[in-house]
Structure 1
Amino acid sequence: MDDLAEFEAQRPRMFGIAYRIIGEASEAEDVVQDAYLRWRSAEGVTTPAAWLTTVVTNLCINRLTSARARRERYVGPWLPEPVATGNDPLELAERRDTMTMGFLVLLEKLTPPERAVFVLREAFDYSHRDIGEVLGIDEANARQLYHRALTRVGDARRRFSATPADGVKLVERFLAATVEGDVAGLEQILTEDASVWADGGGKATAARHPIFGRVEAAHYLTGLGKTRRALTATVAVGEINGEPAILVHESGELTVILVPEIHGDRISTIRAVLNPDKLAYVKGQLAA
């Protein structure tokens, strides 16, 4: 296998690591490109997978440090940049449940090194020894970082109890109730402590603060469904970050992605991405 073929074989894993650590697909692509430039000039690489994992992980830690500063100045709630899954090779890069929007939001509680350790351990099943080698620390320190991260995020490994088919049906019910303005029907689908988080980034109209509570969330969502823009939009259920989600197109342009988080047979959180910059990557995926 030549150098380029070897690198391309590792690309899904590299992107998977970078995306989970940073939470931004465009930044993850930049990291993979930076890794490629280093790969071209490297000599004597005997274990490409390990070498590339080390390079990508440390590039991500450096980028995440500056990204955190930008997120502190972000207008309104910050959400991860969504990616389309389903038939995309990205989903094959280890565990899909570790790339859900809910999981990535939880990781925002961690420091860059903690996040890197947690991703390598949870999503890619690296040993503490191997993680230590990637980060240039000893095994005991890697283990300590992991347990510290685990304590800070809580049970981030919790699985959804709904099957994929049931999840799609629930999201379809949610969509129908929202479009029809059925507040009562929507309340039946939402958990009591349901919340809505809208990421407009100051570039699209969106609530600047989260909406909390079943009743408040239901009224907010049905209100969105009644707007003039919503009435002329086309909506469909697709797969985003390994979960059923709602894609809204206006005049053929993707303008909103709503990702409901399912707990049991109800929806507990709705994350809406409206910032056009954050929809660019998905647009490229869907157009490919």
Structure 2
Amino acid sequence: MSNPGTTDRSDVFVAHRSLLFTVAYEMLGSAADAEDVVQEAWLRWAALGAEAHAEVRDPRAYFVRIVTRQALNRMRTLSRRREEYVGEWLPEPLLTVPDVAEDVELAESVSIAMLTVLESLTPVERAVFVLREVFDAPYDEIAEAVGKSPAAVRQIGSRARSHVAARRPRMQVDRSEQEKVVERFIAAVTTGDVQGLMDVLAPDVVLVADGGGVAQAVRVPVYGAKKVVNLLKSFPQAAINPKIALLWLNGGLGIRIDDEAGGPSLISVVVEDGRIARIFAMRNPDKLGWLEAETQLAR
């Protein structure tokens, strides 16, 4: 027979699990590391006695604080690992439920484009930005989580907002418009239609690919429509039996390409003014492990 107290502890944690994973994922950009952080938080919670549990008046704030601290510790380790990474580093993509797209703020916050921008923040700036701007946490709770004073947290938050505002893409939130643009892009790529690609890409489009030194991918960003077209136009000749599917990726419409020559790829795009302004291509197979089942996100 199970211990009722143990069941209660588990139920309280499970009720917040999707939220905690989302917090950790937005701070780390890695689903695998976020899952590890959440598991560490559970172990800490489970190890506490009944009296300690009873003293926790706000489980949500308590769990977010623990996850934030664990994520900050892990971010310092990850920064050293990423310094040695081969080529461009992109966040680990997630297969998400369509409902995530309905929450515009959540969808933008977990998009590959936004997570890439967040990579340019310091660990504490990123934690403060995520907790305040995405999860609307009070400053005093954020201060306790990151080990700073509320006044310092306000300054850090202001600096982080300015930094993100200068770099964040103008996201296309009209789902039908985005779908039309993505379908035009797929049609042009699969047929090698150079003019079609030029028409669907913004003149200053940027393509970033992540192969991790494992899969073939350009190791530096490609700037400008002409250079991106030159890179993509050979796809029909290079691919062998390609299979292309649309899927919900990080709260937005994404593209999965499987071909016998190049292996799997995940494509995320940013649509601005009816054209594709950013292309993020995940080629590293080590980062494609979270695509077999939909991940529940919450805030």
Q: How many residues align?
A: 283
Q: Is this contact kept in 1: 2:98–2:248, CA < 8 A?
A: no
* 1:264 paired residue among 269, 273, 286: 273
SS of 1:204 mapped into structure 2:
coil
Q: Is this contact kept in 2: 1:98–1:122, CA < 8 A?
A: no
Q: Indicate the larger mover: 23-32 or 39-48.
A: 39-48
Distance 1:127 1:238 in 2: 35
Question: Aligned-pair RMSD on alpha carbons?
Answer: 2.3
Q: Is this contact kept in 2: 1:16–1:90, CA < 8 A?
A: no
Q: Is this contact kept in 1: 2:258–2:265, CA < 8 A?
A: yes
4+ aligned runs moved over 4 Å, structure 1: 87-94, 155-159
- Counterpart mapping for 1:1-288 below 5 A: 2-42=8-48, 43=52, 44-87=55-98, 95-155=106-166, 159-227=170-238, 230-250=239-259, 255-285=264-294
Distance 1:240 1:161 in 2: 15
1:64-110 residue CA offsets vs partner (Å, 9 max, x unmatched): 11101111111111000000112588997972210111100001111
Q: Is this contact kept in 2: 1:12–1:92, CA < 8 A?
A: no
**Which of these two proteins has the greater Rg computed from alpha carbons?**
2
Alpha-carbon distance, 1:264 to partner: 1.9
SS of 2:292 mapped into structure 1:
helix
SS of 2:187 mapped into structure 1:
helix
Q: Is this contact kept in 2: 1:193–1:212, CA < 8 A?
A: yes
1:101-126 residue CA offsets vs partner (Å, 9 max, x unmatched): 11000011111011000001111111
Q: Is this contact kept in 2: 1:13–1:93, CA < 8 A?
A: no
Distance 1:89 1:14 in 2: 16
Distance 2:278 2:31 in 1: 22
Alpha-carbon distance, 1:47 to partner: 1.8
Q: Indicate the larger mover: 202-211 or 92-101.
A: 92-101
Q: Indicate the larger mover: 144-153 or 170-179.
A: 144-153
Percent identity, aligned pairs only, is 38
Q: Is this contact kept in 1: 2:109–2:115, CA < 8 A?
A: yes
Q: Is this contact kept in 1: 2:100–2:106, CA < 8 A?
A: no
Alpha-carbon distance, 1:157 to partner: 6.2
Q: Which consecutive residues of structure 1, in runs of 5 or more, have no partner in the other structure?
A: none
SS of 2:278 mapped into structure 1:
strand
SS of 2:289 mapped into structure 1:
helix
The amino acid of 1:146's aligned partner reads G
Distance 2:195 2:104 in 1: 40
Q: 1:81 to 1:96 in 2, by over 3 A?
A: same
Q: Which consecutive residues of structure 2, in runs of 5 or more, have no partner in the other structure?
A: 1-6
Distance 2:278 2:73 in 1: 31
Alpha-carbon distance, 1:137 to partner: 2.1
Distance 1:191 1:90 in 2: 23
Alpha-carbon distance, 1:225 to partner: 3.9
Distance 2:42 2:167 in 1: 32
SS of 1:117 mapped into structure 2:
helix
Q: Indicate the larger mover: 91-100 or 68-77.
A: 91-100
Q: Is this contact kept in 2: 1:84–1:240, CA < 8 A?
A: yes
Q: 1:90 to 1:29 in 2, by over 3 A?
A: farther
Q: Which has the higher contact order (CA 8 A, sep 6+)?
A: 2
SS of 1:226 mapped into structure 2:
helix
TM-score (structure 2 length as normaliser): 0.88
